[in-house]
Amino acid sequence: MSMNLPLKDMTLQEKLAAMELLWEDLGRSPESVESPAWHKDILDERRERVAEGKAHFVDWETAKRDIRNKIS
């Protein structure tokens, strides 16, 4: 199935609204969305780091600040 959206003519708000509609629809049947194998690999690695005591955690506000600092 091919779909053409007028992306070049859409505003940012219209594009974000379209994305939200897609995510909402996909969220209605999450069992039909298969995660790629590399997701499991990353989660397994992170679980191992936690079990070994090698994981480092920060609160959400600190994480957001750090991300903003890295991208600005």
Q: Say how many domains are in the chain.
A: 1
Is residue 67 situated within a structural domain?
yes
Backbone angles phi, psi at 5, to 5 degrees: -105, 145
Is residue 55 situated within a structural domain?
yes
Is residue 69 situated within a structural domain?
yes
Is residue 7 situated within a structural domain?
no
Is residue 44 situated within a structural domain?
yes
Containing domain of residue 49, as a range?
35-72
pLDDT at 2: 87
Residue 1 has pLDDT above 90, yes or no: no
pLDDT at 3: 87
Condensed to tens digits (0 to 9), the pLDDT of residues 8-23 reads 999 999 999 999 999 9
Is residue 29 situated within a structural domain?
no
Mean residue pLDDT of the chain comes to 95
Condensed to tens digits (0 to 9), the pLDDT of residues 32-50 reads 989 999 999 999 999 999 9
Is residue 26 situated within a structural domain?
no
Backbone angles phi, psi at 64, to 5 degrees: -60, -45
Is residue 61 situated within a structural domain?
yes
pLDDT at 54: 97
